[in-house]
Amino acid sequence: MIFTTMRVERPEGVVVARGVAALIESAASAPAIERLDFDQARAFDLVLISTIQGVPLIPWQRRDTLYDETNVDPETGQLAKYRIVAPVETYDGDHQEALCERVVGG
């Protein structure tokens, strides 16, 4: 588990939120494991990212790109980047959970 903050961008490149507190977990250790069908994927190539301080003012959507504002991707040397690849689940206004794929490079 990694606690961090996220910058959220829509597909058009518009930043809709910064500093969103989040928790990143490998999807390999979560209930979504049956969706992990990558051969030879690293543990954090498919992740579950959850907000930890409620639902953001502009809720996350499928296809949003989440930039980790703290942690660097070891393969690129730039901030880690994830794309939401499945419908986002919202739990009673308490938090959101998104299945995401790590984006390497561009």
Domain count, the chain: 1
> Which positions ≥6 away from 102 have C-beta within 8 Å?
42, 44, 45, 46, 47, 73, 80, 81, 82
* Polymer length in residues for the chain: 106
pLDDT at 60 over 90: yes
What pLDDT does residue 57 have?
86
Considering the chain, what is the average pLDDT of its residues? 86
Residues facing 81 on adjacent strands: 67
By residue range, what is the domain housing residue 50? 2-102
Euclidean distance between the first and final Cα of the chain, in Å? 25
pLDDT above 70: percentage of residues in the chain: 84
What pLDDT does residue 41 have?
55
CA 7 – CA 72 distance, rounded (Å): 14
Q: What is the CATH number of the domain that holds 10?
A: 2.40.10.270
What pLDDT does residue 26 have?
83
pLDDT bucket at 105, cuts 50 / 70 / 90:
confident
Output 35 or 81, whichever has higher pLDDT. 81
Contact (Cβ atoms closer than 8 angstroms) between residue 8 and residue 15: yes
DSSP secondary-structure letter at 58?
A: S
The model scores a pTM over 0.75: yes
